[in-house]
Amino acid sequence: MALLPSWAWVLAGCLSAAAGASDLSGLYPPLWEESPGQFSDYRVENGKYIIDPWIFTERMGAYRILLNQTAPYFEKYAPENEQNILWGLPLQHGWQYSSGRLVDPTGRTDCGYESRDHLCISVDSWWADINYFLSMLPFLAAVDSGIMGISSEQITLLPPPKDQTKFCYDVAGCWSTFPDIMEKWTAFFQYMQSPSSDFDGLLNHLWVAHTSSLKYPVTIFEDRYAYYVNPEADFEKNWAVAVNYLAAAQLPTTLTRSHSLQKGLASRMLLSTDKAPFIADFTPLQNSVLVALSSLGDTDRLTGSLSLAAWKISMKTEAARKFFLQLLENYVALST
């Protein structure tokens, strides 16, 4: 008799493990399967693959290829590429898309709007501009690192309809305009390929590259804030601050974790009347994340980033980072 329940447990365990495994694709970002999965899915001109990063599926396709090509380096941590820490980037971009943050904030064009030009990514979107430096630059650095199976000359990106000089379009161009960003991403991909790489080291390199990608666009696209109502513009500014704190904590942006943490992010663009924690159509978690981001942003500005310096010191040990992650996950679990 006593055997029966334990067998039931084993069976239930197997079933949920099997379900868990096949469920992973449910965590993929929107339109993942519809996006290019290999270079030959893109157009070819004069022997070069042409990617238009101002079309959602084309930008997402670059992530899809990147995730596919880096999968072997994360196999030793878990099956199905679940522990690939690059997942954070396409998931973040998927959230930008589904929450309406890639649309033309000026409303002058149809770009990005549902039932109109919904796959269009607007160059006037603050989120889209920042993401360019977190998608195309790592992608080109990966190509240049030799892990993508094509050579550096074989890829060209199409320019947006305006502000062309604020972006770069191929490996050589990105190296000459943004050497620091390219160098940090290349360091990540080189470290990833070294036989002695470990998970903590990967996270460290990833976050160094991530923060270096933000420095330039966060200052150069400040004019975009004017296109948004105050709560959304404040959210953008606070988000740009918060990323530095998450970077210091070396948040492990694996598939499951990124997906679960993203539940805390505002599910639509903020309106002028939105006042967290009282936004009725947001979850308690989404409301409290907005409040937390706003006080973090205020603290950072008031202390002239001294709070960040202090935070970086306190996050120096792996034990402290683990503790913070535990707190963060408990907080997410309790508020959902």
Ligand X SMILES: *[C@@H]1O[C@H](CO)[C@@H](O)[C@H](O)[C@H]1NC(C)=O
CB of 64 to ligand X, least distance (A): 9
Closer to ligand X by CB, 80 or 298: give it: 80
Give the x-and-dash track for 40-69 against ligand X (CB under 6 A): ----------------------------x-
Q: Which of residues 126-165 bind ligand X (CB under 6 A)?
A: none
Give whole-number Cα distances, 57 to 37, 166, 176, 227, 282, in Å. 10, 22, 27, 25, 27
> What is the rounded CA–CA span in Å between residue 296 and residue 293?
5
Residue 81 touches ligand X, criterion: CB under 6 A: yes
CB of 65 to ligand X, least distance (A): 8
Residue 194 touches ligand X, criterion: CB under 6 A: no
Residue 38 touches ligand X, criterion: CB under 6 A: yes
Side chain identity at residue 116, one-letter code: R
Residue 24 touches ligand X, criterion: CB under 6 A: no
Bond before 277 cis per omega within 30 degrees: yes
Closer to ligand X by CB, 23 or 180: give it: 23
- Contact present, 107 and 87 (Cβ < 8 Å): no
Closer to ligand X by CB, 30 or 37: give it: 37
- Give me the count of residues in the chain: 336
Residue 295 touches ligand X, criterion: CB under 6 A: no
Closer to ligand X by CB, 41 or 110: give it: 41
The residue whose two tokens read 């550096």 is 152
Burial status of residue 81 (CB atoms within 10 A of its CB: 0-12, 13-18, 19 or more)? buried
> What is the rounded CA–CA span in Å between residue 216 and residue 84?
26
> What is the rounded CA–CA span in Å between residue 29 and residue 326?
25
Closer to ligand X by CB, 75 or 198: give it: 75
Contact positions vs ligand X (CB under 6 A):
37-38, 68, 71, 81
